[in-house]
Amino acid sequence: MYPDNIHPYFDSIFTPASLFLFCGLCNLVYCIADNTDGRLARRDCKTSAIGEYLDHGLDCVTSLLSTCVACLVFSVSTANMAVAVVMVGIVTVLSHTLHV
């Protein structure tokens, strides 16, 4: 079987444009849920160290995945995407680590 003959299973249903739209909608839902969760925890005085740790961890994962999606949208090479992900990861970790 040649690589030209290999296609994703749902290739006819999910076009690249619809997948990018789906990623954008998921990111929007994540941002709304993240902000609402933080506000409710502070309002009800139910903040905890593990909640803050999980919040920052999920922010890091989301920023890295958003970087990958942006690189795919703009057809960035794999090597440049790896550099961008590492740079965004370093900045994200430093911003959360230095936030005391």
Those residues whose C-beta lies under 8 Å from the C-beta of residue 2, and which sit 6 or more positions away, are: none
Q: Which SS3 state, helix, strand or coil, does residue 45 take?
A: coil
Task: Report the distance separating Cα 90 and Cα 32, nearest Å.
Answer: 25
10-residue mean pLDDT profile of the chain (100 residues): values are 60 72 87 86 85 80 84 85 90 75
Its pTM stands at 0.65
> Tens digits of per-residue pLDDT, 11-37?
667 677 777 788 889 889 988 888 888
What b/e sequence results for 22-54 when a residue is b if at least 16 CB atoms lie within 10 Å of its CB, and e otherwise? ebeeeeeebeeeeeeeeeeeeeeeeeeeeeeee
